[in-house]
Structure 1
Amino acid sequence: MEDRQALLRGLPKVDEVLQDERLFLFFESTPRPLIVETVREAVEDLRAAVLRGETERIPSRDELVERITGALTEKNRRVLRRVLNATGVVLHTNLGRARLSAEASRAVGEIADSYCTLEYDIRAGARGSRQDIVEGIVCRVTGAEAAMAVNNNAAATMLVLAALARGQEVVVSRGELVEIGGSFRIPDVMSESGAVLREVGTTNKTRLADYRSVWASGVTGAFMKVHTSNYRIVGFTEDVPLASMAELGRELSVPVIYDMGNGLLADLSRYGLEEPTVTDALKAGADVVLFSGDKLLGGPQAGIIVGRKTYIDRMKSHPLARAFRVDKMTLAALEATFTQYIDRDRALKDIPVLRMICAKPEELRARAERFGEMLTAACPGLRVEVEACEDQVGGGSAPTSRLPGFGVSVRQEGLSAQKLERRLRKAPVPLIVRVGHDRVLVDVRTLAEEELALAVEAFVCAKGGEN
């Protein structure tokens, strides 16, 4: 007990520790209350350890300050942090989906810290509408009569159904009652919108006659087609082409809604991606098309709704439009992204999502070889090999498409792949990799040229890190 009391008397005072010059650097960038709190926590942890009999000595001042600076460094790290995506999944939902283009990023930065024309018409010197910011460029690029943006595609679905079919039936094929991430299901959102789901057909076969047979004047509010963007039904199947559904809708005066989800604007079939485009959907006769901004479009999270002006105007005036509206930074990124699509060939090079999908195997192999050489030079003890692999689009898009790619497999003697992967996640800029066959795979499709050096740094940190 006397030893314990002696240890307690030897505990440093908080005010004394705060005078250590090694903490002065933190006072320039860290709120003083946070520093005081961290020092107090470190001293209290020592006190608790002494009282529990878990320590026989008080650490030196150097050891204590090292603990405190480590804790402060950890606390100063934001929860939302940059990471390096070396998984080969282009639209990785957990890692933020689409990377913005340099042009879109600049547009966001310019607007973020300044006043702007969010709802101000400079020419008229009067109040304007935030929807006008992107409607013109979206219509120009897609060929739609009208357009608007909300905060994601789930919100777009809810708004479209509430504005066009509340209290009426919306006819959907059973094979298209999709569920996406977060247990978001078409039947559930339809119920919340006030529309009534009317299922037709079977899981694998739906015909045009199925839609016609359930139509009733004053009862049927819309026909809805949902693109199965995150799964495919193959084999003994049949579905109704959008053009046929649109023709039936015109005959019966029923609006046809197409929830296509992926937001593809450029034809990527020559790169192995067989997905419908927004322009094709409008040309097929859909009255309303809705899609995500942060998928194959390559922009920020948003839900974009395009189609006939009479229907879009009803959505703009609906109460949910305000609840789902987007902010100035999203609008800045959307405007910049859509503007890049005026030159489609340039967009394939300048929009990161498209550039990654369209990357040629020989280009990826060369990048993998460069990274392998850089890694071998920095960490000579690692076993490094370039290998072919298959990549994915991800983000609930093109589920059956596989992109031929290249990566670098890495093994470290005496360290399992799982432990190496954990260490890579602890790097100053975490490196997220694939693990399998007792090796980590650094897939270079989703790792930009300018990020290779940072990926090497992650391995340097991991080599000497703790498990």
Structure 2
Amino acid sequence: MGDRHVLLRGLPKVDEVLQDKRLVLFYETMPRPLIVETVRNAVGDLRTAILEGTADRVLTQDEIMDRITAILTEKKKKSLRRVLNATGVVLHTNLGRARLSREASQAVMDVMDTYCTLEYDLKSGTRGSRHLIVEDIVKKVTGAEAAMAVNNNAAATMLVLAALARGKEVVVSRGELVEVGGSFRIPDVMGESGAILREVGATNKTRISDYRNAYEEGVTGCFMKVHTSNYRIVGFTEDVGLKQMSALGKELGLPVIYDMGSGLMTDLRWYGLDEPTVTDALKDGADVVLFSGDKLLGGPQAGIIIGKKEYIDRMKKHPLARAFRVDKMTLAALEATFAQYIDREASVKEIPVLKMICARPHELKERAGRLADMLKAACPDFHYEIESCTDQVGGGSAPTCELEGYGIGVWKEELPAQKLERKLRKAPVPLIVRVNHDRVLVDVRTLADEEFPLAVEAFLSVAEGAPADGTGTLSHEAGTLSHEAGTLPHGAEIFPHMKGGEI
């Protein structure tokens, strides 16, 4: 018991700890009450350990301060943090999907901390409509009669069905009753919207006669086609093209809805991406087309609805339109992204998603070589080898599209690849890589040139044994956001420490 009294007397007072010069930087960046709480809890934990008999000595002042500063450093970290994507998956759902272009990022910055014309008409000095902010530019780029934006494509699906088919049947092929990320299923959202699902055809074969036979006057609300953007049915198959379905819809006086999901605006078949485009969907006669903003469009998370004005106007007036509306930052990014599509040729170079998808193998090989040279100079104890690899679009888009890429295989004796991956993930700016057998693969397709120095810093943090909690120093000279710049090889893993999750 006497020993415990000695140990307790050796504990520092909370007020004394709060005066320690090592807390100065934390006072500049953190609320004082949070620092006080952390110090009090740390000292309290030491006291509890002594009373419970699990502490056999008094920690030194330096040891106590190291413990407190480590806790404070961890508390300073934001939950939403920047990472370096070296997986080769362009639209990596776990990593935030599409990177915005410089123009879109700047547009967000311009309205983020200021007042803006979100719902204000400068000409009349009266209230305006946020629907009009992106409508004109979307109409110009797509050729649609009308357009609106909601917070994601799931919301777009819900709103379209609620506005056009509530209480009525929506005829859909069984082969198109898809499930996307987060267990979001088309049949489920139909039920929530108030529409009634009418399945037709078989899983692998659906004919136009199936739609015609399902039609009942006054009962059928619309025909719906869903692009199977995250899987393919091959072999003994048959489906109904949008042109056929649109012709039948026109004959029967029913709207035809096309949920195309990924929202590709530019034909990229030349680059190996065989996906339908938004403009083709309108040309083929769809009355309403809906797609995501943060997939192949390359913009922020949003659901874009385009089509005939009579239908879009009904959606704008629907009560769910307010529940699903987007904020000024999303609208700013959307407007800027669509504006870049006015010049389709330039958009492939300026919109990061398109630029990454269209990157040529020889370009990627050259970039991998440059990064390898930087890594060799900074961390000579590792082994490096330029490797060809297969990248993917990701984000539930173009599931059969294989992109020929290049990366750097990195390994080190006595350091298992799984452990190296974990250490890189704990770097000051985490580097997310693939694990391929006995080495990690740093894929350069999704890693911008301006991010190369930060990737080197991540390896340096491993080589120098930087604290796993990210307390090491880091040069941010080259750390600005950049917009230069996957089926995986056998044995490769993305996020090997995670189980499941949409990519």
Q: Give TM-score, length-normalised by structure 1.
A: 0.99
Amino acid at match of 1:440: V
The question of 1:118 aligning with 2:118 is answered: yes
Matched, 1:142 2:133: no
Instruction: Say yes or no: does 1:172 pair with 2:172.
Output: yes
Paired residue secondary structure (1:28): helix
Q: Deviations over 1:116-153 (max 9, x none)?
A: 00000001111000000000000000000000000000
1:75 maps to what in 2?
Answer: 75
- 1:379 is aligned to 379
Matched ranges for 1:18-167 at <5 A: 18-167=18-167
Give a deviation string over 1:238-275, Cα, whole Å, max 9, x none.
Answer: 00000100000000001000000001001000000000
Q: In 1, Cα distance between the equivalents of 2:348 and 2:407?
A: 22
Give deviations 1:400-431, integer Å, cap 9, x for gaps: 00100000011122111111111111111101
**Which consecutive residues of structure 2, in runs of 5 or more, have no partner in the other structure?**
469-503
Name the CA distance, whole Å, in 2 between partners of 1:458 and 1:396. 29
Helix, strand or coil for the counterpart of 2:29?
coil
CA distance in 2, matches of 1:318, 1:98: 29
Q: Distance in 2 between matches of 1:274 and 1:52?
A: 66
Partners of 2:75 and 2:112 in 1: how far apart? Answer: 25
Counterparts of 1:161 and 1:412, CA distance in 2: 55
Contact 1:423–1:466 (Cα < 8 Å) also in 2: no
* Cα deviation, residue 53, structure 1: 2.3
User: Which residue is equivalent to 1:253?
Assistant: 253
Report the alpha carbon displacement of residue 55 of structure 1 after superposing the two structures with TM.
2.3
Shift, 1:466, TM fit: 6.6
Q: Is 330-339 or 414-423 further displaced after alignment?
A: 414-423
Letter in 2 for 1:208: I
Deviates more, 1:409-418 or 1:164-173: 409-418
Please say if 1:238 is aligned against 2:219: no
Runs of 4+ in 1 over 2 A off after TM superposition: 51-55
Tell me by how many angstroms 1:3 deviates: 1.1
- Once the 2 structures are TM-superposed, how far is the Cα of residue 24 of structure 1 from its aligned partner? 1.4
Which residue identity is paired with 1:249? Answer: G
- Superposition map of 1:260-275 within 5 A: 260-275=260-275
- Equivalent position amino acid for 2:183 in 1: S
For residues 109 and 209 of structure 2, the distance between their equivalents in structure 1, rounded to whole angstroms, comes to 52
What are the equivalent positions in structure 2 for 1:200-215 lying under 5 Å apart? 200-215=200-215
Kindly indicate whether the alpha-carbon contact (under 8 Å) linking 1:149 and 1:326 is maintained by their aligned counterparts in 2. Answer: yes
Q: Write the letter of the residue equivalent to 1:349.
A: K
3-state SS of paired residue (2:258):
strand
Could you tell me which residue of structure 1 aligns to residue 455 of structure 2?
Answer: 455
Shift of 1:465: 4.4
Q: Following the alignment from structure 1 to structure 2, what is the Cα–Cα distance between the partners of residues 431 and 5?
A: 48
Give the match's secondary structure for 1:257. strand
CA offsets 1:28-79 (integer angstroms, 9 cap, x no match): 1110011111111211121122223222212111121122112111111100
> In the TM superposition, what is the alpha-carbon distance from 1:442 to its structure 2 partner?
0.5
Query: CA contact under 8 A between 1:90 and 1:393: conserved in structure 2?
Result: yes
- Whole-Å Cα distance in 2 between the matches of residues 6 and 237 of structure 1? 81
Q: Normalized against structure 2, the TM-score is what?
A: 0.92
Q: Which runs of 5+ in 1 are unaligned?
A: none
Q: What is the count of residue pairs matched by the alignment?
A: 467
The answer to whether structure 1 residue 437 and structure 2 residue 429 are counterparts is: no
Amino acid at match of 1:144: A
For residues 230 and 127 of structure 1, the distance between their equivalents in structure 2, rounded to whole angstroms, comes to 41
The answer to whether the 8 A contact 1:120-1:127 is kept is: yes
> In 2, are the aligned partners of 1:364 and 1:406 still within 8 Å (CA)?
yes
Q: RMSD in angstroms over aligned alpha carbons?
A: 0.9
Q: Is the 8 A contact 1:92 1:394 kept in 2?
A: yes
DSSP 3-state at the match of 1:110: helix
1:296-307 matches, within 5 Å, as 296-307=296-307
